[in-house]
Amino acid sequence: MRYRSKRAKLIEKMLEGFRLRRARAGERIASIRVLSAELGVTPVTTIRMLDEMVTTGVLHKEPNRGYYLARSFQAEPRIGCCGAATVLDGKPSQELTNEALKALLEHFRASGCEPVLLDYNELTSGMAEEKLAKLDGLLLKDGCLDAKTIPILQKFAGRIVLFNSNTICTHLLCSQVMTDFRGTIAEFISRCDIRQYERVLVISPANSNGLAISQIFEDQFSAAGLDNVDYLTLDTSKETAELVAYKYFTEHKQIDWTRRLVIVLSGNYVTGIVSALPLNGGCPDVLCFDNQEKHHLFNGLSKPYFTAVDRNMPLVFTHALDLLLELVRDSSRENRCMFVPASLVIRKSVRHWR
């Protein structure tokens, strides 16, 4: 048994070599003498090993000429996935992201590809470059890109697909998958009779994704000639979006919100709004980003339904893997940015439909 196990290890080592250099069928294997010296075993062991590989169909033997590869090897692409560790911390506010990350991990399995999961802290540790060097491609969630990780990521030689960011990444040569809000926002503006509202308030978090979506509203509202729109950026870096929104709407209780439309570019603001204002009769019409209703965020509320922009996050995440596999398998493919269209979920919370 001891010899069998040793031979199995040698065979595994040879197979790994074939995979790594994507060895092609017909390739001649080094001579018994050379191979024995390389592997540090006797010629008898080498011959037994090669003969076993003939039996399993990896090699074929040509009498008096040597051993040849009977099939080609394709290395499975080694794909790192950074930003998926958050799936483990089950915060309710992260439910949408968690669901999308689960879909991504499921998609890895379906693609026959085992992800190398890296969390943010690993990416900034001293071991990061060594870990990255073993990868052909890296799937990068937007939050993992910052001043600490950028210099490390810039040295990565493989392909990168950045996902869930809504601006073009200027730091790295990479491909991207982002949600396309443009058509959904155009649909909302054309179907909702916005002039019926006294004023419209667009609230965005102070991050680049929030500001990018806010810009689409601003550009499309202005092209539509609408001038009853205000834009508000709320800093959510120190407090949760829920608390920040609760404070804002408590401070502005004197406004008759029922004659207004509020557009919140993060679903997490919504619970803050409905906590601050009387839900029956005191709330504005709301267009809520992130279709969180199905994720139990509104449990216990008497009117849980808000017209929402569903960003189809699981599709963004799984498309990112498809794109990365395509780029890793064909290195001649140029980087690109895929848009996954968001969709409008119309519910009774918005009154003025045309």
Residues contributing to the site for a second copy (CB under 8 A) = 147, 150-151, 154, 167-174, 180, 182-183, 186, 212, 215-216, 219-220, 223-225, 334-341
Nearer to a second copy, 70 or 189 (CB): 189
Q: Which is nearer to a second copy, 74 or 208 (CB)?
A: 208
Handedness of CA 49, 50, 54, 57 (dihedral sign): positive
Rounded to the nearest whole angstrom, what is the least distance from the CB of residue 194 to a second copy in the complex?
A: 15
Nearest CB to a second copy, comparing residues 56 and 154: 154
Strands 229-234 and 260-264: unpaired
Shortest Cβ 224–a second copy spacing (Å): 7
Instruction: Give the number of C-alpha atoms closer than 13 A to the C-alpha of residue 40, restricted to the C-beta side.
Output: 3
Q: Which is nearer to a second copy, 179 or 292 (CB)?
A: 179
Smaller CB separation from a second copy, 126 or 225: 225
Indicate the residue among 54 and 211 with the shorter CB distance to a second copy.
Answer: 211
As measured in angstroms, the least distance from the Cβ of 328 to a second copy is 17
Minimum gap (Å) between residue 309 Cβ and a second copy: 14
Considering the complex, what minimum distance in angstroms separates the CB of residue 112 from a second copy?
25
> Whose structure tokens read 């003498």?
33
The terminus-to-terminus CA distance of the chain in angstroms comes to 79
Cβ-in-10-Å burial (0-12, 13-18, 19+) of 60 comes to middle
Contact 278, 305 (CB under 8 A): no
Joined tokens for residue 354: 């045309």
Q: Which helix (H) or strand (E) holds 66?
A: strand 66-69
Q: Tokens standing for 112?
A: 């026959």
DSSP code, position 65: T
Query: Please, which residue, 173 or 279, has the CB nearer to a second copy?
Result: 173
Q: How far apart (Å, rounded) are the C-alpha atoms in residues 215 and 262?
A: 16
- For residue 151, the minimal CB distance to a second copy (Å) is 5
* Exposure on the CB side of residue 279, measured as CA atoms within 13 A: 13
Which residues, including other chains, have CB under 8 Å from residue 230's CB and lie 6 or more apart?
199, 200, 201, 202
In the bound complex, what is the minimum distance in angstroms from residue 170's beta carbon to a second copy? 4
Q: In angstroms, what is the C-alpha Rg of the chain?
A: 28
How far is Cα 281 from Cα 45, in angstroms, rounded to an integer? 84
Q: Which is nearer to a second copy, 105 or 186 (CB)?
A: 186
